[in-house]
Amino acid sequence: MHARIRPAAVLGMVLTMLATFGVSLALSPPAQAAQVIADIPYASEDPVGSRGHLLDLYLPTGGLTPRPLLIWHKGSAWSSDEGKSGAADIAAVFNAKGWAVAGVSVRSSTQAVFPAQVHDIKAAIRWLRHNAPAYQLDPNRFAMMGDSSGGWLTEMATFTGGVAALEGTVGATGVSSSVQAGLAFFSPTDFLQMNAQNLPGGGLDHNSPISPESLLVGCAIQTCPATVAQANPINYVDANDPPVLFLHGQADFLVPHGQSVLLYNKIKSVCGNGQFISIPGADHGRADVMDPARFGTQTSYATTNCGEAILAGGGAPNPTWDTFEMFLRGALKMGTSCQVTWQASNWSGGFNGTVTIKNTGTTPISGWRLSWNWAGNQQVTAFWNTNLTQTGTQVVARDAGHNANIGPSSSVSFGYEASVTGTNAPPAEFRLNGIPCARVIV
């Protein structure tokens, strides 16, 4: 028999534990953030004086534009309208990698019950996409990440693109609210199964009228299964969903590990695209799930196109920021590994150059930008099969449209003509959509 916590203590204990496991709420500019724009209203206050319709933007220094965007929402058992808190910590990692980061708040369950929270995140995504040109964001490369109830919101946003019943009328409309990838930490996915999945030593009484899940939907969850079904991310999974990565600790006291098992099995059953990393001994917190002391103990389950790959121990990717960024890059078709072959035919005062980009990763690339810096005074004067610009010594070559897609193990080539005096040294580094490529000089 599972031990149960008295219902009256449920919510207070959840909030206490979330505070223990949570990240700092301080809003401070992270390293590499050129600009932090705080408290942007993506919709009018509701209720008046609340903060659930605000977002913060963290824009990186330099790098290529337009930039991919990572949307962050911090979990609170749906009790807070400050879900954008903690985005500074995410930006400290991702701004340095060339990503813009948006911390987004939504209304709490005390301010509005489901589906208000989904309406809100979709309104924020629409606002960000509508304003993408102003902030140099790539509207085709939006990803979302969150933990706990923030992971739930991430999965709802990821799985419900195009679901008209959940679009809502909050804020601006007429723009897509879809994201192209999701990354969720220890999120609830099927509320009615949570009590049965609690740890043998006990867990929260999710069926209580005052449980976080019951407060979210506005009724004790076992008494309103039809309403609960609409709030379960698992019920929106289909084969057309964007790729999603989710992580869960096997010792999670607040949200049972089995919730992610259910989600993975559902994604696999519909031939979707998902990866589940299960971490033994980890409780409910990012620091626990990402603890280096547990590296090598995790198991990764990945399913794509009805296939499955299971990696355990040292063969499984460690739950690190680098692992997460590589997943997101692959999901957004930015490329995860590349090789550039550079060949020059010289004559007095100039040369022709041929550049071949090879996708050495396992995911396709859709839309590419290759950048490099000249070591000398080379100046490009003509080019073909690319759109190329040069500013000082920096060159950025972009796809020409017809050659935007590079499949795994496939290549595209382009050429240019340039003037030069002195030594025509090859570039020391090529970067494709922000990552360095292996270099081959012919």
In order of their start, the domains of the chain are 7-331 (3.40.50.1820), 338-441 (2.60.40.290)
Q: What is the pLDDT along the chain (442 residues), one digit of tens a residue?
A: 333 343 444 445 445 444 444 433 333 343 355 699 999 999 999 999 999 999 999 999 888 899 999 999 999 999 999 999 999 999 999 999 999 999 999 999 999 999 999 999 999 999 999 999 999 999 999 999 999 999 999 999 999 999 999 999 999 999 999 999 999 999 999 999 999 999 998 899 999 999 999 999 999 999 999 999 999 999 999 999 999 999 999 999 999 999 999 999 999 999 999 999 999 999 999 999 999 999 999 999 999 999 999 999 999 999 999 999 999 999 999 999 999 999 999 999 999 999 999 999 999 999 999 999 999 999 999 999 999 999 999 999 999 999 999 999 999 999 999 999 988 999 999 999 999 999 999 9
Distance, CA of 207 to CA of 239 (rounded, Å): 31
**3-class DSSP state of 246:** strand
Phi-psi region of 403 (alpha: psi -120 to 50; beta: other; left: phi over 0): alpha
Phi/psi region, residue 294 (left: phi>0; alpha: psi -120 to 50; beta: rest), is alpha
Q: Quick one: pLDDT at residue 423?
A: 84
| Beta pairing partners, 71 | 102, 144
Cα–Cα distance for residue pair 144/155, rounded to 1 Å: 9
The reported pLDDT for the residue numbered 62 is: 82
DSSP string, 125-159: HHHHHHTHHHHTEEEEEEEEEEETHHHHHHHHHHH
Q: Phi and psi at residue 430, in whole multiples of 5°?
A: -115, 140
Instruction: Find where tokens 């659930």 sit.
Output: 52
Q: Is the separation of the CB atoms in 12 and 210 below 8 Å?
A: no
Q: Which of 196, 185, 182 is nearest to 151 (CA)?
A: 185
How far is residue 14's CA from residue 271's CA, in Å, rounded to a whole number? 35
Q: Residue 47, preceding bond cis, omega within 30 degrees?
A: yes
Phi and psi (nearest 5°) for 246?
A: -140, 145
- Dist. CA 123–CA 129, nearest whole Å: 10
Query: Which uninterrupted H or E stretch holds 230?
Result: helix 225-231
CA distances from 80 to 49, 104, 239 (A): 14, 12, 33
For the whole model, what pTM was predicted?
A: 0.92
**Dihedrals φ, ψ of 231, to 5°?**
-95, 0
- How far is it, in rounded angstroms, from Cα 42 to Cα 229? 28
Q: What is the per-residue pLDDT for 34?
A: 67
Cα dihedral sign, 77-80-86-88: positive
Q: Which residue has the tokens 């019951």?
A: 214
Q: Which two tokens stand for residue 8?
A: 């009256």
Which residues does 53 contact at the CB level (< 8 Å), separation at least 6?
Answer: 41, 42, 43, 44, 45, 46, 105, 106, 107, 120, 123, 170, 171
Interval 346-367: pLDDT, tens: 999 999 999 999 999 999 999 9
Return the pLDDT at 210: 97
β-strands 394-398, 405-406 pairing: unpaired
Q: What is the reported pLDDT for 6?
A: 39
Q: Which of 256, 247, 241 is nearest to 301 (CA)?
A: 247
Q: How far is CA 375 from CA 355, 393, 400, 430, in A?
A: 17, 7, 26, 13
Return the pLDDT at 33: 56
Q: Whats the size of the chain, residue-wise?
A: 442
